[in-house]
Amino acid sequence: MSEADEPGGPLRVALLSYRSKPHCGGQGVYLRHLSRELVDLGHTVEVFSGQPYPELDRDEIKLTKLPSLDLYRDDDPFRNPALGEFRDWVDVLEYAHMRTGGFPEPLTFSIRALRELRRRRRDFDVVHDNQVLGVGNLGISRLGLPLVTSIHHPISVDRRIELEAAQGVRQKFGKRRWYGFVGMQAQVSRRIGPVLTVSDSSKIDIVKDFKVDPRDIEILPLGVDTRIFHPRGERVPGRIVAMASADAPIKGVDVLLRAVAKLATERDVHVIVVSRPQKDGPTEKLVRDLALGERVQFVSGISDDELGELLASAEVAVVPSRYEGFSLPAVEHMASGTPLVASRAGALPEVVGDAAVLVEPGDVEELAATLRGLHDSADERARVGASGLARVQERFAWPAVAQATVEHYREAVTQQKYLRLARRG
């Protein structure tokens, strides 16, 4: 009898993530914190990831690298690999998809992961997919391995927003091709069994866009690491901070920059965005067009402690997204005691409750007016910041998230055991 068959015994977990940026992007942050808390609960965790690889917080967590061709690395996106870099047909498939405008990583990572799990299927009690949703995942249950899948939000929402922002037939065609993998993810999500998501809003979108049976979806909010994100004393006058992918229309950084440009004509404010915009891309062009100059700064590659200090140094935080399936940054801002302004979009109202100031997504004038009001009122900043901090302390803790996740693992293990016994019978 394996340890997984013993009620309450430790589990051997394979955690899959096709890319795992540790500080930017919800998938990498989720992977890092969940893996740490699972190990602290006494379970064994092995992370399987492609580039960029995660930072892991415990020496006990094993990282198994399943390298892609790394075609989208920050310093050389859409690169052409040397012939010697191609190892097998999966690499050829990945490169062909990229050269024809598609995004291949969910598909090719799932094939590599299935190949590795087939070789090592006796090493694990359960597999947890962190929103890969590639066709290779469909083979995991055939190996006799229970599978639990996290969908933070369906990428169909990103596709819809980017298509709306695209200009001209050529750009719209390019976006449709890039997001071609979304159709695969929808098909896989309907066939892989239990799904965990982070909010009612995300569950509704998964049911609507991916046509997943709502009975297969459980809601499990995310947590925040309060060792990193907490109030730290004095704040820098006029400082506004945001954490968002600068060039992704869904994140609304363009709206924030336009609002700050309006406010900067009458108030001494500046904004720091935790992101690395594309060189000479749309965000850098907008900064020049708005003549923001030293009023805006982009930072990336900073340590956890530096990030915590930055968030706690701001007078106001902003999540200007046009959509969020959950928004860890929103929770991290609130945990820092920083008064938060957030869009009334996706799951943000559900996550922040009445502990933040909500504005219409995309409304530059309303955002500028809200920032002006907070800038001018220290009392209002203190009230909103305290409300956010109290909400985090009541609702969002990683140990509780991990414990609830383990219960879903055990349920999946039990279901797989009954299926196995039924087949034998």
The answer to whether residues 208 and 269 belong to one domain is no
234 part of a folded domain: no
Token pair recorded at residue 236: 């820098």
229 part of a folded domain: no
Q: List the end-to-end C-alpha distance of the chain, in Å, as a whole number.
A: 19
The answer to whether residues 293 and 208 belong to one domain is no
106 part of a folded domain: yes
Which CATH number goes with the domain that contains 253?
Answer: 3.40.50.2000
Q: What is the pLDDT of residue 238?
A: 97
The answer to whether residues 142 and 56 belong to one domain is yes
The answer to whether residues 99 and 219 belong to one domain is yes
Q: What is the pLDDT of residue 7?
A: 63
369 part of a folded domain: yes
pTM for this prediction: 0.85
**If you count them, how many residues does the chain have?**
425
The answer to whether residues 98 and 38 belong to one domain is yes
300: phi then psi, degrees, rounded to nearest 5: -155, 165
Q: What is the pLDDT of residue 74?
A: 82
Domain span holding position 103: 3-223+398-424
How many structural domains are present in the chain? 2
Yes or no: say if 150 and 130 are a contact pair by the CB < 8 Å rule.
Answer: yes
CB count within 10 Å of CB 363 equals 16
Q: What is the pLDDT of residue 5?
A: 55
Query: Low-confidence residues of the chain, pLDDT below 50?
Result: 1
Dump pLDDT digits (tens) for 55-69: 999 999 999 999 999
125 part of a folded domain: yes
Instruction: Tokens 């982009």: give the residue.
Output: 298
Q: What DSSP letter does each residue of 381-424 carry, written as one string? A: HHHHHHHHHHHHHHH--HHHHHHHHHHHHHHHHHHHHHHHHHHH
The answer to whether residues 191 and 302 belong to one domain is no
Pairing label, strands 316-319, 340-343: parallel
Closest C-alpha to 74, from 19, 27, 120, 32: 19
Angle at 196 between CA 159 and CA 242, to 5 degrees: 55
Q: What is the pLDDT of residue 233?
A: 86
The answer to whether residues 150 and 244 belong to one domain is no
Q: What is the pLDDT of residue 4?
A: 57
The answer to whether residues 210 and 295 belong to one domain is no
Closest C-alpha to 50, from 4, 90, 8, 79: 90
Long-range contacts of 374-382 (CB under 8 A, 24+ apart): 374/315, 374/316, 374/339, 374/341, 375/238, 375/263, 375/267, 375/269, 375/315, 375/316, 376/267, 380/339, 381/315, 381/316, 381/339, 382/339
The answer to whether residues 218 and 259 belong to one domain is no
The CA distance from 298 to 292, in Å, is: 12
The answer to whether residues 161 and 310 belong to one domain is no
If you ran DSSP here, which 8-state letter would residue 315 be given? Answer: S
Instruction: Tokens 């599978």: give the residue.
Output: 147
232 part of a folded domain: no
CA-only gyration radius of the chain, Å: 22
The answer to whether residues 296 and 214 belong to one domain is no
Yes or no: say if 15 and 47 are a contact pair by the CB < 8 Å rule.
Answer: yes
Closest C-alpha to 317, from 360, 398, 371: 371
262 part of a folded domain: yes
The answer to whether residues 15 and 81 belong to one domain is yes
Q: What is the pLDDT of residue 247?
A: 86
Dump pLDDT digits (tens) for 197-254: 999 999 999 999 999 999 999 999 999 999 999 999 899 999 999 998 888 889 999 9
310 part of a folded domain: yes
